[in-house]
Copies of this chain bind each other. A is one copy, B any other.
Amino acid sequence: MATSKRGREKKLRIVVLGGGTGTFTVLSGLKKYPLDLSAVVSMADDGGSTGMLRDELGVLPPGDIRQCLVALSTSDRTMRALMNYRFSSGRLKGHSFGNLLLSALEKITGSFDKAVEKASEILRLRGKVIPATLDRVRLVARLKDGRVIRGQSMIHDHNLHHLKKITLDPKGKANPKAMTALRTAHAIVIGPGGFYSSLVPTFLISGIPQAIRKSRAKKIYICNLMNKAGHTDGFTVKKFTEKIEEYVGGTIDYVIYNNKRPSASLITRYAREGERLVEPGPHLPRTRFVGADLISKKFPKPQKGDVLTRNLIRHNQDTLAKLILAVAQ
């Protein structure tokens, strides 16, 4: 419950779990409300700028953390643009400034946790950003034919139809701050986000599923809009929910999903890359399914290097925030 005897003083505590664009969207929407907001963020990224920093400096992956920091920052536009700025030439090419900030702070303070705290101060955060683990974990996928794919960015680009097992190496231990946030939350929001690139790597951390199960929070899952080719082909909302419940080892209370079809031309564009709209499928008995038009009408400016379709069908942050608050109260 959000209200205590002292009434309005006690804010609703919401923890958002994930990483990547989906989590950015949810946080950006929720930030506008007077909440006690935290993000528990996936720490398995090893691609691009983040991957180079892991390899060359031996730091923890800053990329997903950076995006959540930007989402919750109350600093001006220049500061947020600075965090996302990517150098485009020379030896710095591809590095995001925010990643460099987090890595330099990790080196100076000697701890990624302190680095995130300091960056939160610099960016005047409304809310908290919490690395799900402080261990140096790598995602590893074992296929049925015996092949082993190491690293989240490799796995992201690989077909996982014949996945046998996905693990973290080493098996990371949950950041105690993440455990506390999950245990004391009024609501835990899972996703949206890449199933094998944001959600599963977080559920695989020892202590995270346990903390979710033990928490008296309402568990809210926000289902993806599109299925990723080679990863979640043919997944319905029901199938996604069942898979999440499998990893968590407990029940999801609410599923928020999209029930609006985008234009045929947009669907065709996605289909060319093998990505299809997530269909609702039948509901599950113990879970409340909340269907709504979740698709953003705003088309974000395409960024250099983005796959075209990534920009076109995405969640509307304000609709998501309203629905989350409606079920979380």
Which residues of A pack against B, CB within 8 Å?
A: 52-53, 55-58, 78-79, 81-82, 85, 87, 89-92, 95, 97, 100-101, 104-105, 107-109, 118, 122
Contact = CB atoms under 8 A, between A and B. Distances in A.
Contact of A78 (B52, B85, B118): B118
A56 to B, nearest CB: 3
Contacts of A118: 78
Contact of A122 (B52, B56, B108, B122): B122
A91 B89 CA distance: 12
Contacts of A53: 90
B89 A97 contact: no
A132 B139 CA distance: 51
Nearest to A96: B104
A189 to B, nearest CB: 31
Contacts of A87: 57, 104, 107
Q: Is the interface of A mostly helix, strand, loop or mixed?
A: helix
Contacts of A58: 89
A80 to B, nearest CB: 10
Given A97-B100, A100-B100, A118-B78, A56 B108 contact: no
Copies in the complex: 2
Q: 5 tightest CB-CB pairs across the interface, nearest first?
A: A56-B90, A97-B104, A91-B91, A85-B104, A81-B108
Contacts of A81: 108
Contacts of A108: 78, 81-82, 85
B90 A92 contact: no
A82 B52 CA distance: 20
A118 B58 CA distance: 30
B85 A107 contact: yes
A56 B100 contact: no
A315 to B, nearest CB: 27
A293 to B, nearest CB: 35
A100 B56 CA distance: 17
16 contacts: A52-B91, A53-B90, A56-B91, A56-B92, A57-B92, A78-B105, A78-B109, A78-B118, A82-B101, A82-B104, A82-B108, A85-B107, A91-B92, A92-B92, A92-B95, A92-B100
